[in-house]
Amino acid sequence: MTAPIFILAGEPSGDRLASHIMQAVNKRYNNPGWIGVGGVLMQNEGLNSLIDMETLSIMGFGNALISYRSLSALADKLVEQVISAKPRIVLTIDNKEFSVRLATRIRRRMKAVGWSAPIIHCVAPTVWAWGSWRAKKFVSAMDGLLCLFPFEPDHFRSLGLNAHFIGHPEAFENYVHKRSIKKKPPYSRQIALLPGSRRTEVKLILPEMLTAAAILKRHDPNFTFVLPAVPHLLPMIKAYTEGHEIDVTECPSDIIAILQSSEAMIATSGTVTLQAALCGTVGVTCYKTGAFSAFVGRQLVDLDQVILPNVILGRRLYDFYFQKQANAKVLASAILDIFDNKDVKERARKAAIELKTLLTGDCDKFERLLVTAIKEWLGPPNTSIKRLK
């Protein structure tokens, strides 16, 4: 029986990315079998998930410290799963700090039992934004790195880590509406509210977004608001939005169609800002966290390098507001400024084209780039890559 592949992701964005990777590998390696941790999208591709993915969805330094003991126990449990199953490779997706700790423990146990498998991580640490020292941790813990952005491999190769550019699967999407969105009323100016996929994000950021929506609605009754909610946060979000004129949609797969049909968005920083940029959607970005996390973050993070499209393009596409600046009045004012700027939509359209080129490497299929990179550890695929052209 062929050994499975161990794969781990701990939040919705990682679940989405990992599902693309699994889909590509399943096509080219005849469904090798998957164990580890992941969400619904990964399970749809064949993952037998050991635990609920939400266990790993911890936001901020403060929460990570509080949960250290439970995460440590979980890491030990996963290490034993790896040692018992002896997978072909160990593949971790994002969740950088946990992934490094897990990889270090797996490597130690591999040495003790006299067996080994390559440990590969996908999504390079954002050393351009904070903590260049973090790259050294990856060099010692990982055997390889799969990079989403074209400027990353050279940096990590210079440190001795085997790094490959695989592109970003979002950039390969045609962004055709997968199902119809409720038709907007005449003269509607739809704004997408995107408060994040973690409970703490929703708790801290959504109230500001809702107040900003109320301000905008008073300014112009034609403003309407839609909020795509990930399933596990739906009850929480509905509780917050009760009494507000917000259209909450339950299906996260609608997010691209919602971004395309919206005049603008207010978004928590994260993968969704890249999706919005690829759709050519204008808007503003923000983030709020606990006081301790914010204090530590300010010491370590270059706030000008937080928003992915800004970093990739090398210029500011979206304004970013952090902590006290991420308040309802500021967010509403920023949206009104966008609507007053006649050139902003054309700039967003051109940026979307530029981003797609950068993130696909001018290749037409994500699986082609992925398999070219991963065959070093999985061996030759079952079908010639040439057929993907």
In one letter, which amino acid is 298?
R
Q: What is the pLDDT of residue 62?
A: 44
Could you give the percent of the chain with pLDDT greater than 70? 84
Name the strands in the sheet holding 5-8, side by side, starting at the edge strand that comes first in the sequence: 47-52, 34-38, 5-8, 90-93, 119-122, 144-147, 162-165
pLDDT digits (tens, 9 = 90+) for 137-165: 888 899 999 999 888 899 899 889 999 99
Distance between CA atoms of 264 and 341, rounded to whole angstroms?
A: 12
Write the pLDDT tens digit of every residue in 263-289.
999 999 988 999 999 999 999 999 998
Digit-coded pLDDT (tens) for 23-65: 999 999 988 999 999 998 999 999 999 887 876 665 444 455 5
Mean pLDDT of 120-125: 92
More confidently predicted of 63 and 117: 117
Predicted confidence (pLDDT) at residue 387 exceeds the cutoff of 50: no
Average pLDDT over residues 254-261: 88
Cβ 307 vs Cβ 320: under 8 Å? yes
Q: Which residue has the higher pLDDT, 56 or 112?
A: 112
What's the pLDDT band for 131 if we cut at 50, 70, 90? low
Residue 249 scores a pLDDT above 80: yes
Measured over the CA atoms of residue 82, residue 83, residue 87 and residue 93, the dihedral's sign is positive
Q: What is the mean pLDDT of the chain?
A: 86
- Report how far residue 208's alpha carbon sits from residue 65's, in angstroms, rounded to the nearest whole number: 27
Q: In the chain, what are the domains? A: 5-167+361-388 (3.40.50.2000), 189-358 (3.40.50.2000)
Residues 179-233 have pLDDT tens digits of 344 545 555 699 999 999 888 899 999 999 999 999 999 999 999 999 999 888 8
Interatomic CA distance for residues 134 and 126, integer angstroms: 9
Q: Kindly tell me if the per-residue pLDDT of 367 is higher than 60.
A: yes
pLDDT tens sequence across 288-347: 987 666 555 555 555 567 898 998 999 999 999 998 999 999 999 999 999 999 899 999
